[in-house]
Amino acid sequence: MPLIALGINHNTAPLELREQLSFSGDELCAALRDLESLPGVREVAVLSTCNRTEIYGSLDEDGETALRQWLNHHPNTDQEAIQRAVYEFVDEEAVRHAMRVACGLDSMVLGEPQILGQMKQAYEAALEAGTAKRVLHQLFQGSFSVAKQVRTDTGIGQNPVSVAYAAVDLARQIFAEFENHTALLLGAGETIELAAQHLNRRGIGRMIIANRSVDRAHRLADEVKAQASSLDRLPSHLVEADIIIASTASREPILTREMVKTAFRQRRHKPVLMVDIAVPRDIEASVADLSDVFLYTIDDLQQTIRENLASREQAAARALEIVDARASHLAATLSSLDAVPAIRRLRERAFDQREQTLRQAQRMLAAGRRPEDVLEYMAHTLTNRLLHEPTVALREAGEQGDRDTLDTARQLFDLGEGDEKEE
């Protein structure tokens, strides 16, 4: 082939380094063009996410060195840090790595599904740039197929293993018609950002993000099509909200029992799910005593997460078995691609020899020669013509002491020891 996967990820490089080596939009197109122009690079694709940047390539002999030099000398990067962080997989291990990535087995959150979509985008970008052809087509399509099988056969992505996802999944279980409900998010940090993204993907009808810094709330709200607000307007928002997820940095509860009780009078006691994932807590514990309130804390979710993580780890073990089996098969298929042109030329040459011999035999029959003589001529002539070049090559190998060529011939044609001696 050889096939290579080269890159850095969340396990080998901190965020600051990953940011230096990230590509999107026009940057990705330019990177693909640069990489394809390197000596020895036949095909190339780049997978760039917040957690990883990886180069997948089909190479000639000098391609690996060229790729490493390009990666290590990329502008505006800490070259020494990148050299320490880079990992490399070749041939079958590269296939296995691509499949692990597609299945979410190499992700920060085990089994997360977003990476599969990101891999598909990377493949489509390489197709559009004309840098992904026969080898990478089979690599990526094979990886997508394995990911689908793993998710179908193991259910690795079914159970949430992050606090934000678990909170939203809980809300989705309680409120079936998500598009008819309103979610109120308290805070604008990383956990609330993830919860907002999950709510948006699940089709929540309306979302309000309340934060002490309204500017920060606006930035997040713009990303997820939500309404931004300040915590000062919390009492009015409590009347509207069916789902409340809280994660602020407050040292004191920002939702008190009296505040919630007052809002409930206007809500006419419609049920509310409250998920408090802040430490210290944002919601007074006594709120749970109010009727029609379902209050969950981070400890409640953590138990679910631990159980789900154990379930995912069991699924991951089964997924690895699937990946190993499929990777070996796909690697063998990719390796055989290099032989296809040679096989085609060999068959074309044999066909030409056959046609030439057949035409000569037809002329002999037309001249009145006996069919038995013509058949003998055809068999003898075609055998000699087909074996002439291999015979010459083997004779030269014997004269030069080239044992590798002789051993390869024995394996290819099932020749025993000593069979190469002349009669």
Tokens of 410: 């024995």
Angle, vertex CA 352, rays to CA 384 and CA 370, nearest 5: 60
Taking the C-alpha atoms of residue 285 and residue 263, their distance in angstroms, rounded to an integer, is 17
- Distance, in Å, from the CA atom of 366 to the CA atom of 360, rounded to the nearest integer, reads 10
- 103 belongs to the catalytic site: no
Q: What are the residues whose beta carbons fall under 8 Å from the beta carbon of 59, sequence distance 6 or more?
A: 1, 2, 3, 4, 40, 41, 42, 67
d(CA 346, CA 348): 5
Q: Which two tokens stand for residue 220?
A: 């997040």
Between CA 72 and CA 417 the distance in angstroms is 50
Contact (CB, 8 A) for 95 and 334: yes
Lookup result for tokens 């099988």: 149
Half-sphere exposure of 289 (CA within 13 A, CB side): 6
Phi, psi for residue 180 in degrees, rounded to 5: -100, 10
- Rounded Cα gap, residues 33 and 38, in angstroms: 9
* Catalytic choice (14, 15, 30, 50): 50
From 331, 329, 330, 323, select the one nearest 105 (Cα to Cα). 323
Instruction: Say if residues 107 and 115 touch (Cβ distance below 8 Å).
Output: yes
Q: Residue 334 in contact with residue 138, Cβ under 8 Å?
A: yes
- Give residue 159's Cα distance to chain centre: 20
Of 297, 298, 287, the C-alpha closest to 264 is 287
Parallel/antiparallel/unpaired status of strands 182-186 and 293-297? unpaired
Could you list the active site residues? 50
